[in-house]
Amino acid sequence: MAFGAMMALAMFSTVAAQEEPSVDDTLADLTVAINMVWLLMTAFLVFWMQAGFALVEGGFTRAKNTGNILMKNMLDACVGGLLFWATGYAIAFGLSGDESNGFMGNGNFFLSDFTSYGSWMFQFAFAATAATIVSGAMAERTKFSAYLIYTAFISGLIYPFVVHWAWDVNGWLTAFTDDPFMANGYIDFAGSGVVHMVGGTAALVGAIVVGARKGRFDGNAKAVTKPHNLSLGVLGVFILWLGWYGFNPGSTLVVTGGFADVAAKVAVTTTLAACAAAVTAVFWTKLRTGFYDIGIILNAVLGGLVGITAGCATVDPWAAIVIGAVAAIIVPFAIQLLEKLKIDDPVGAVPVHLLCGAWGVLAVGLFSTQSGINVAYGEADGYGLFLGGGAEQLVAQIIGLAAIFAWTAALSGICFVGIKAIMGLRVSAEEEEEGLDLGEHGLNAYDLSTIHNAVEPRFDSAAN
Amino acid sequence: MAFGAMMALAMFSTVAAQEEPSVDDTLADLTVAINMVWLLMTAFLVFWMQAGFALVEGGFTRAKNTGNILMKNMLDACVGGLLFWATGYAIAFGLSGDESNGFMGNGNFFLSDFTSYGSWMFQFAFAATAATIVSGAMAERTKFSAYLIYTAFISGLIYPFVVHWAWDVNGWLTAFTDDPFMANGYIDFAGSGVVHMVGGTAALVGAIVVGARKGRFDGNAKAVTKPHNLSLGVLGVFILWLGWYGFNPGSTLVVTGGFADVAAKVAVTTTLAACAAAVTAVFWTKLRTGFYDIGIILNAVLGGLVGITAGCATVDPWAAIVIGAVAAIIVPFAIQLLEKLKIDDPVGAVPVHLLCGAWGVLAVGLFSTQSGINVAYGEADGYGLFLGGGAEQLVAQIIGLAAIFAWTAALSGICFVGIKAIMGLRVSAEEEEEGLDLGEHGLNAYDLSTIHNAVEPRFDSAAN
Amino acid sequence: MAFGAMMALAMFSTVAAQEEPSVDDTLADLTVAINMVWLLMTAFLVFWMQAGFALVEGGFTRAKNTGNILMKNMLDACVGGLLFWATGYAIAFGLSGDESNGFMGNGNFFLSDFTSYGSWMFQFAFAATAATIVSGAMAERTKFSAYLIYTAFISGLIYPFVVHWAWDVNGWLTAFTDDPFMANGYIDFAGSGVVHMVGGTAALVGAIVVGARKGRFDGNAKAVTKPHNLSLGVLGVFILWLGWYGFNPGSTLVVTGGFADVAAKVAVTTTLAACAAAVTAVFWTKLRTGFYDIGIILNAVLGGLVGITAGCATVDPWAAIVIGAVAAIIVPFAIQLLEKLKIDDPVGAVPVHLLCGAWGVLAVGLFSTQSGINVAYGEADGYGLFLGGGAEQLVAQIIGLAAIFAWTAALSGICFVGIKAIMGLRVSAEEEEEGLDLGEHGLNAYDLSTIHNAVEPRFDSAAN
């Protein structure tokens, strides 16, 4: 429809219908239109986070594995897309007849209900995020094929259940009902728990099952952990930050009915948490190591963003700053803890997504304001402990946190152990040594050898 | 106007006018507003594809030519912008008096009609896409000046005619009329044919006229075809995929009048086609070569996106998956074919844009549903052959395909042969050998020599 | 609110309220919704410019300082965000009681007024832009700590005053009043002066106070000024160009009340100015040096974008082309001038942002049309000198320009000289020599040593 001259017509009439539509019909049409623009544009921003994860993971690992890790990040979205179409969305939100149960959805497999298209697009982008978190923790030694099989399970099965529990009105953890299991139910506005803890838990389990990289704890650790390309890593964090403006504000899903103001608030709290985390990490790393540690600072930014994701709609800006600052300190401690436990997580996926995700879930029970819950979820029944709202919301958060962790750890454990037993999870020692780019893909990611660096710029820029 | 306090005022009144506007006026204003937001935001996403093309083409060619190919990608948008302002938009959509003819528009040169600004912005971004496809196929040996002259022709002349034929209500191929030349007319929702076949055909002609790179068929081919920077290439594909969410869903042009649902459907079909193409290429390349071939997988993603572009609004999600999977197999066969014909297309522009573009145009005639055409184009008169809708739509698609190919091949042929005769199309053999960055721009794209890689990280990250 | 089933509900009812809202309430809600979507999405695009500045500055400096300059670009947004929350927004737009004075705002410190959230998000992104311009001019020799302290001042103090003067209805320079100080007041639609001249002036002062890099004027200049990574630089310019579509069109702030058409016009003038600048620089550099100088061309694109920023809503497309072309010629002359004055600005921040910013401010007084001012600012009282609108608007522009330059030069001078005296502004000569990445951050930005480039691609792509 509607190119060129048609478009001009359509844009200057209210709708392109033959008969004049009623005011109510036009209002309904405009409401759908504005909400769809918001839903799709924010979904596209969330999809963009795939590129951010790819670059962060690529930049912070070694050059000989770059192509492999980048492609894992792209392919998990692709495998995940097909599985989320086949089963994932159905398990999360599907309705057979009038109602689903508290444990799983039960209809709309293969996206049979066309009224779900906008919602599917948005939820697919979230599913892809949960899946892609894992690749970083298992980088530089996991088989391409084994990783892709795992991503089918998390996108099509493990993650959708958690979504149903927390974000479907019929889920047992849901906050979107008049009859929640406790207080206001489990509140997780954009998914510190639902998305990041799921990804981070699977990342932890995967890193344990696949084992540490050669040399990580039994050789020259610094040679193993040197980032190969900080420019990629920093750009990746900028991309993720931008994508988070789809992730968090977009989780209003609608901007009518007063939710435009919620979206604006979420943009502010998201921004301030990231800012506070970065500044905290600057001080922290300088005081502890004498250097402004770029890896820690970047992970702190991501940790701050993960931390504010659950409470972005229900906490005030000052609390967002506190949440971000605490996340920034969680990150280095968690890195040290993994170091002591000899768990090898090359890019810090577990500290950022599991630990800061858990912190974000708890922070909802500590810092949420009564008015914040009222506006975003309806009549608050209990709110932040630190603000005098009692402990009940915190307990609800702990229950949700425990359920998400236990479910994901159990199922991803079965999944990784099964893959390891059946087909092997890890590349050969020789392949790990020469790099997965050569071993799995038959080529190298970089070749600058055609440049003659002896030659200096030939033009005289002063002659311009 | 509307900064600061003014803005608050404006946002909380319906319009900032002195007198209370009528409900009808307000509805009309809101309709214009929401559609303009959609049109502009998707146009910006399409513009962003310029960066994606630049990185894919830069990443997959040699380091000594990087600056040159990146700047060609930027400058073709710039030359194209000026030409599309002067003549391109006028030929595509211009009206002198009441009507243009079926062959070309005839008014609004130099954008004299200010009501076209939003439409111009959107269409400019598409024109820039058509133009920039060509640079990849002619990379690493084409003169900067010659390339820029060619881009003036495609943006200001060759491409706009095709747009007029297919997308202007008065065009002879148009699907936006009650009296199409056949079935529903030529259906190409977002331009598998109008944009990608035009770019891909010109790319083929350009690659033939300029000839193969030194060593490509007469030396060590692998040394010539090694990508210099896969990170750029993968990021470029992510950028293009994101931009495609402007390209395809944005081609609804409006989101009112029920088109919000069409936009959502298009986002879903676009996503699934890309996912299916990637997964297909993973299997395909592993089975055929023993490696997960990154170059083929990335080009398959792009091929899947090109393939779904024509039918994204009229086919169902399952068909999008089929279309993407077939595109993924077209790509490697087309690469082999070019190899046999000794046509040197360094980045696979011809397989992706010409061949998958043609596949996308045909797929409309095979897979379009009756309801899909009804919703997007009004009362369907024939639909997909495979769905029982008869062959007429397929014939209309073949006619459109043939017309676009013949026109573009003829005009771009004249253009390239003319440039070759008058000023030369190709750099000297010496310049090709040392690289176009030094020869045309007087510098190198990379210099990492200031880094002392012997030095290991100085801080102890465990001390954080 | 409103996930899954809830969302479907919400999207297909006009608002999710219990009682049917009135038509007027629904219209008001829709107006807020559409304007908030526009404000937030364009704010996100402006935030994205941070990544663009980082890559341009990183790409055009030496590899040994890459991590440092990238992190400065990220951290100035983070420090700036906290300060803009604490004091910046309050000084710019804050109201205590009914009114602020012409010099500064006086309320809403720490964002106490929640109705400002959307506006804060948008204005924060602009503040971050003004701050980050400076890092480029002081690159490769400025202490990380000193730079961060400076950014606190510009974001929390220096810049917000200028915003108040020009963009708050109570500011003494404002164009948003019936009683401006002269003609229509100082017109600067998106901030050629307010943002870019502030950043560019501080950049000039900073570059002078910190002094030139070693070897820049006393050694082999070409070795110092070689870009280390053109791919980053070009990508950065694409990112900035995309971000500018938030910066300029987004400065309508609203799209209702007829402003949708203004936004579309601004997108067109912004595009054409960038295109004209690029093409002009291609000719200019080829004629003057024999090469297509990539650095100059990229800076010309940015200069064209800076130049059109003030007048994007009030000049016609043809004038945008002239403004962009002139900016392209200002850039190389300004670079030569700095060279003669021995002021070392590694990335051309002063030519692009200060000089082209000043040109943009003046161009408003030369090229603005009467109808352009009428539509964007209400009843024009004088317009462009070259269009017969008299000199009064030009004088108003000169007054604004002088005030912005004097204020910023004075305060940033005090700031930089103070920092230099108290804690030192510059790293040690040894650290400058070995690179700031090792000195400040303890690591290198790149390590490609794990790649075995002797190995050629192993698969046979013809076998695919």
- From the list B262, B271, B446, the residue facing A448 with the nearest CB is B446
All residues of chain A having their beta carbon less than 8 Å from the beta carbon of residue B442 are 457-459
All residues of chain B having their beta carbon less than 8 Å from the beta carbon of residue C28 are 12-14
Q: Tell me, what's the pLDDT at B175?
A: 95
- Residue A89: closest CA among A3, A168, A173, A156: A156
B118–A11: do the CB atoms touch at under 8 Å?
yes
Rounded Cα distance between C304 and C301, Å, is 5
All residues of chain A having their beta carbon less than 8 Å from the beta carbon of residue C229 are 231
CA distances A109 to A29, A88, B318, C116, Å, are: 28, 8, 12, 43
Residue type, A183: A
> Going by C-beta distance under 8 Å and a sequence separation of 6 or more, which residues neighbour residue A113?
A107
All residues of chain C having their beta carbon less than 8 Å from the beta carbon of residue B3 are 167-169, 176, 251, 253
Nearest chain C Cα distance for residue B399, angstroms:
31
Checking if the pLDDT of C427 tops 60, the result is: yes
For chain B, say whether C271 makes contact (Cβ under 8 Å).
yes
- From the list A167, A227, A464, the residue facing C332 with the nearest CB is A464
For chain C, say whether B236 makes contact (Cβ under 8 Å).
no
Nearest chain B Cα distance for residue A113, angstroms:
11
Checking if the pLDDT of C452 tops 70, the result is: yes
**Which chain C residue is nearest to residue A59, measuring alpha carbons?**
C446
SS3 A20: coil
Q: Tell me, what's the pLDDT at C14?
A: 37
CB C28 within 8 A of CB A27: no
A15–B292: do the CB atoms touch at under 8 Å?
no
**Which chain A residue is nearest to residue B41, measuring alpha carbons?**
A41
CB A45 within 8 A of CB A242: yes
- Residue B110: closest CA among C320, C328, C372: C320
**Which chain C residue is nearest to residue A44, measuring alpha carbons?**
C41
Rounded Cα distance between C38 and C44, Å, is 10
Residue type, C356: C
Q: Tell me, what's the pLDDT at A6?
A: 47
Q: What are phi and psi of A381, to 5 degrees?
A: -120, 80
- Tell me how many degrees the CA angle B267-B131-C313 measures, rounded to the nearest 5: 75
Q: Name the pLDDT band for C314 (thresholds 50, 70, 90).
A: very high
For chain B, say whether C377 makes contact (Cβ under 8 Å).
yes
Q: Tell me, what's the pLDDT at A16?
A: 44
CB B199 within 8 A of CB B205: no
More confident residue, A220 or C55: C55
Residue type, C181: F
State pLDDT tens for residues C279-304.
Answer: 999 999 999 999 999 999 999 999 99
B50–C238: do the CB atoms touch at under 8 Å?
yes
**Strand partners for C181:** none
For chain A, percent helix, then strand, then coil, each to nearest 5? Answer: 70, 0, 30
**Residue carrying structure tokens 């002036």:** C201
**Which chain B residue is nearest to residue C319, measuring alpha carbons?**
B110
B235–A12: do the CB atoms touch at under 8 Å?
no
| Mean pLDDT confidence for C299-320 | 98
For chain B, say whether C97 makes contact (Cβ under 8 Å).
no
Q: Tell me, what's the pLDDT at A461?
A: 59
Q: Name the pLDDT band for C67 (thresholds 50, 70, 90).
A: very high
For chain B, say whether A412 makes contact (Cβ under 8 Å).
no
Checking if the pLDDT of C97 tops 80, the result is: no
- Residue A383: closest CA among A395, A180, A391: A391
* Helix (H) / strand (E) containing A428: none
For chain B, say whether C263 makes contact (Cβ under 8 Å).
yes
The CATH topology of domain C32-94+114-427 is Ammonium transporter fold (1.10.3430)
| DSSP H stretches of helix in A211-293 | 221-225, 230-247, 259-289
A451–B446: do the CB atoms touch at under 8 Å?
yes
Q: Tell me, what's the pLDDT at B461?
A: 60
For chain B, say whether C282 makes contact (Cβ under 8 Å).
yes
* Domains of chain B, residue spans: 28-96+110-428
Structure tokens at C371: 């109808």
For chain B, say whether C279 makes contact (Cβ under 8 Å).
yes
For chain C, say whether A449 makes contact (Cβ under 8 Å).
yes
Q: Tell me, what's the pLDDT at B97?
A: 75
C54–A261: do the CB atoms touch at under 8 Å?
no
For chain B, say whether C118 makes contact (Cβ under 8 Å).
yes
Q: Tell me, what's the pLDDT at B9?
A: 43
Structure tokens at B363: 């797929």
SS3 C426: strand
- From the list A169, A245, A278, the residue facing C74 with the nearest CB is A278
* Optimal mutation site among C65, C168, C234, interface B, most CBs of chain B within 10 A: C234
Nearest chain C Cα distance for residue B421, angstroms:
22
A275–C81: do the CB atoms touch at under 8 Å?
yes
**Which chain B residue is nearest to residue A27, measuring alpha carbons?**
B27
Rounded Cα distance between B134 and C23, Å, is 52
C377–B74: do the CB atoms touch at under 8 Å?
no
Q: Tell me, what's the pLDDT at B19?
A: 66
Rounded Cα distance between B31 and B39, Å, is 12
Q: Tell me, what's the pLDDT at B44?
A: 98
Residues 191-220 of C with CB under 8 A from A: none
For chain A, say whether C57 makes contact (Cβ under 8 Å).
no
Residues 312-341 of C with CB under 8 A from A: 332, 335-336, 339
Checking if the pLDDT of C16 tops 90, the result is: no
More confident residue, A450 or C20: A450
- From the list B115, B450, B455, the residue facing C63 with the nearest CB is B450
* Optimal mutation site among C115, C294, C370, C443, interface B, most CBs of chain B within 10 A: C294
Nearest chain C Cα distance for residue A120, angstroms:
10
* Optimal mutation site among B69, B164, B234, B296, interface A, most CBs of chain A within 10 A: B234
Which residue ranges in chain B fall short of pLDDT 50? 1-17
C256–B30: do the CB atoms touch at under 8 Å?
yes
Q: What are phi and psi of C446, to 5 degrees?
A: -130, 145
Q: How crowded is residue C218: how many other Cβ atoms within 10 Å of its Cβ?
A: 11
Rounded Cα distance between C312 and C262, Å, is 9
Q: Tell me, what's the pLDDT at A14?
A: 37
B267–A459: do the CB atoms touch at under 8 Å?
no
**Which chain B residue is nearest to residue A24, measuring alpha carbons?**
B27
All residues of chain A having their beta carbon less than 8 Å from the beta carbon of residue C36 are 255, 260-261, 263-264
CATH for the stretch B28-96+110-428: 1.10.3430.10
All residues of chain B having their beta carbon less than 8 Å from the beta carbon of residue C260 are 32-33, 36-37, 118
Chains contacting chain A through 3 or more C-beta pairs under 8 A: B, C
For chain A, say whether B93 makes contact (Cβ under 8 Å).
yes
SS3 C229: strand
For chain B, say whether A30 makes contact (Cβ under 8 Å).
yes
Rounded Cα distance between C364 and C312, Å, is 9
Q: Name the pLDDT band for C48 (thresholds 50, 70, 90).
A: very high
**Residue carrying structure tokens 């010496």:** B430
**Which chain B residue is nearest to residue C460, measuring alpha carbons?**
B289
For chain C, say whether B47 makes contact (Cβ under 8 Å).
yes
Q: Which CATH number fits domain A30-445: 3.40.640.10, 1.10.3430.10, 3.20.10.10, 3.40.50.80?
A: 1.10.3430.10
Give exposure, B119-153, as e/b (b: 16+ Cβ within 10 Å): bbbbbbbbbbbbbbbbbbbbbbbbbbbbbbbbbbb
* Optimal mutation site among B213, B294, B464, interface A, most CBs of chain A within 10 A: B464
- From the list A15, A70, A335, the residue facing B256 with the nearest CB is A15
State pLDDT tens for residues B196-227.
Answer: 999 999 999 999 999 999 999 998 899 999 99
ipTM: 0.96
| Mean pLDDT confidence for C263-269 | 98
Which residue ranges in chain A fall short of pLDDT 50? 1-17
* Helix (H) / strand (E) containing C307: helix C294-309
Rounded Cα distance between A302 and A356, Å, is 9
